Chains A and B, each alone.
Chain A
């Protein structure tokens, strides 16, 4: 699977929520795009990923 341009392996059934956990990212500080479509945060626990997917995760840090 492509994650922010890098190739990684995902286990069958990995959800976006699982992925964020493994990246140590909070699900309330990110915007996630899978195959050029934005996925709403309420879908994170349900949406599963596979190795053909192209995923972009944009995370926000504090300050402004």
Chain B
């Protein structure tokens, strides 16, 4: 070593203190940005290929609080695109994802609801959330959630997704602003079906379109 060089010792698996993680986020993102992200409460409906990826990105950003909703359990067929691991198989997705997220930031505030979300549940489930991410698989559920939020919670932002199957072009996945509060990501066309199933890369591209749209809304960038 030379004089005036810094030496940092990193202990394997040592959990950083809360203040340390926060200081690292501030250093990377700037105080102004971090303060806004830290105050935000975001809901995610569906914790599959889209939702699990969105949740991870938002937690890595330092999001204030997540409200995560799903009724399903982790199955081996999920592993091709959803952010779960072997040790999660058989667990409720809400529990498995919370476990993942605490392994990224042990101090993250995560509320989970293990329910099949119906129209009558929507307003109450997302009452704290400024932004709701639609991350369902079923197109009828997608439309139901967006229509319900637009009607019953007109002050909330909605980021929804449609069309992300197969290995079509990266470049057909876009983010569109439909109304002041409603954003859509995806290619709008490619339905998940036999011969063109969901594959990890495009699903994650769509999920991160959702996550970055959430981030932009938080930081006051309302255009796409």
Contacts and interface: CB of A to CB of B under 8 A. Distances in A.
Q: Decide whether A and B assemble into one complex.
A: yes
Contacts of B164: 63-64
A30 B182 CA distance: 13
A40 B182 CA distance: 14
B52 to A, nearest CB: 10
B99 to A, nearest CB: 21
By size class, the interface of chain A is 10 to 19
Nearest to B51: A64
B182 A31 contact: yes
A64 B178 contact: no
A29 B141 CA distance: 8
B211 interface: no
How would you classify the secondary structure of chain A's contact residues: helix, strand, loop or mixed? loop
By size class, the interface of chain B is 35 or more
Interface in B106-147: 135-140, 142-144, 146-147
| Of B46, B142, B164, B178, most A-chain CB atoms within 10 Å | B142
A64 B184 contact: no
A51 interface: no
Contact of A29 (B50, B140, B160): B140
Contact of A63 (B144, B178, B191): B191
Nearest to B141: A60
Nearest to B164: A63
A31 B139 contact: no
Interface of A: 26, 28-31, 33, 36, 38, 40-41, 56, 58-64
Interface of B: 46, 48-51, 135-140, 142-144, 146-147, 150-151, 160-165, 178-179, 182, 184, 188-193, 198, 203, 206
Given A58-B162, A63-B190, A64-B50, 20 more contacts: A28-B143, A29-B140, A29-B142, A40-B147, A41-B143, A59-B188, A60-B143, A60-B162, A61-B162, A61-B163, A61-B188, A61-B191, A62-B138, A62-B192, A63-B137, A63-B164, A63-B191, A63-B203, A64-B48, A64-B164
